[in-house]
Chain A
Amino acid sequence: MKKIKKIFIPGKIVARAITSAFKKPATIKYPKSKPDIAPGYRGRLIYSPTNCIDCMMCMRDCPTGAITIKNLGTKENKEMHAYLNIGRCIFCCQCVDTCPKKCLSFSQDIMLSKLNRDNLTIEL
């Protein structure tokens, strides 16, 4: 058993309690005020189809199969669309790292909840 060197006097806690009383609370009123998101936080993906070459490397590397790239036009006249299932996406942003033409990037948008499961697939 360890010998007790001295009895701890809780003086520090009193000083802390007084200083904390005048501080801003750490919590926020959530739906009304927006949370602080770090600048590099990985949120919803952004897709710019202009440079996309339809290589599908992002689909191949996606760990959960959340992203789908579709060419709705022809081979000559490409009309690229990207769909993301936000129910499956784990926001690892591997697709952003993989894309050879840097068509994908991420935003700090984290407000992605939906009321219906069918609405979880969104077009980027």
Chain B
Amino acid sequence: MSEGLTIPIGPQHPSLKEPVSFLITLDGEVVKKAVIELGYNHRGLEKACESRTYIQDLYIIERVCGICSHAHSYAYCRCVEELAGLQTPRRAEYIRGIVGELERLHSHLLWLGVAGHEIGFDTLFMYTWRDRERVLDLLAEIGGNRVNYGINTIGGVRRDLDENICQHILDVMDGLEEQIKYYAELANTEATLIARLAGIGILTRDDVIKYGAVGPVARAAGIMDDVRIVEPYGVFTEIKVNGVTDDHADVYGRTVVRIKEMLESIRLIRLMVKEMPDGPISVRAPRRIPTGEIIIRVEAPRGEDVHYLRSNGTDKPDRVRVRAPSEANWHGMKHMLEGFHFADVPIIIAAIDPCYSCTDRAIMLRSDKGDTVTDWESLRRTGIERYKKMGIDPSKIRMRTSGV
């Protein structure tokens, strides 16, 4: 029996425009074995957070992910607020809720476009990305930037919503609802879309539990793991979310779940804008955070986002750990790919809505040969010595220089 043909995919943008490498072994047209190599995008975010103050960390945490920027900063702010014992105003929670749901809309619209592009349905790509622009313009108006809105701060939000913006949000929602209903109809009736997506990348209910998948991947297999429902936080303690699940357990199921979630998001945004209370938008936060440790879960567009924070009583965190939703979904990817056609590989990868830069964290592999744990200072010293041998002297480089 032959060994099969091994094809490397990546690390230059396989299916999505971020680096990851796949080694796919084929048996004819069918994927026999898949090996996933992550780690091309490690940025040392957690270490960077530990060497900066809590306020500076807000903007690093916001840049963990390009799409879920609000979810990450919200989870981080909640960690700090819980440790400091701050009670955020209700209006701030409503504004956070509105921005969070707008973010979910723009993330799912982006995904729907990418999925359309992967299966050669570029009209859908153009349509959804046009609609996404309207959401991004709205977010730029609310927060001041298209992607890194910077709406969250420790103790509340940085900007208030006035009547004009609220009216604009409602107007955009009216237009979007019509469009998303059209996409829902498309997903139900378009024969080519169903034929292309149904029955591939299957991850059944048992497999989801086994591999610990989260978000729309789990919900497409019938498991309700929406943190807004199972562990309500912020505004969702007052406003109930109608969860969306599906029983297809394949790429088609994930598409249906995301489209229905967008309709639910629109309902939630309308409700939150209508019921938003008056009052202050933030409370004063201390610079030094009391000692303690905490784990907070927030529902990002891609699934459950877990943040761990440990404080030692200073103005800098002792440890920050970010478990982005994509990180949980990678474990089942090998199982999802094996047994399906090679042509389906891009859409199966895209179906978990992967974010590679979210995923990469430092991992220490220890063998039995007596490996040692290196601390930060000796690691830096080793690096400087290595460059000195190459004729470069980096020891004079100041780690953090000011602008002038």
Contact = CB atoms under 8 A, between A and B. Distances in A.
A94 B140 CA distance: 17
B130 interface: yes
Interface stretch (B25-33, B107-115, B144-152, B223-231): B144-152
A65 B404 CA distance: 9
Interface in A72-124: 83-85, 88-94, 97-98, 106, 121
B329 to A, nearest CB: 23
A21 interface: no
A121 B403 contact: yes
A53 to B, nearest CB: 18
B141 A8 contact: no
- Band of interface residues on B: 35 or more
A1 interface: yes
Contact of A38 (B52, B141, B402): B141
Contacts, number: 89
For B137, B145, B199, B401, the residue with the greatest tally of chain A CB atoms inside 10 Å of its CB is B145
A34 interface: no
B404 A42 contact: no
A52 interface: no
Given A2-B194, A12-B182, A61-B53, A94 B403 contact: no
Interface string B173-217: 000000000100110111100100011000000000000000000
A65 B199 contact: no
Nearest to A85: B403
Nearest to B159: A40
A5 B145 contact: no
A65 B401 contact: yes
Interface in B225-245: none
A68 B402 contact: yes
A6 B189 contact: yes
Given A42-B150, A61-B55, A63-B60, A8 B189 contact: yes
13 contacts: A1-B199, A4-B194, A5-B189, A7-B189, A8-B185, A8-B190, A38-B140, A40-B141, A61-B55, A68-B403, A68-B404, A90-B148, A94-B55
Interface of B: 52-53, 55-60, 123, 130, 133, 137, 140-145, 148, 150, 153, 158-159, 182, 185-186, 188-191, 194, 198-199, 248, 252, 400-404
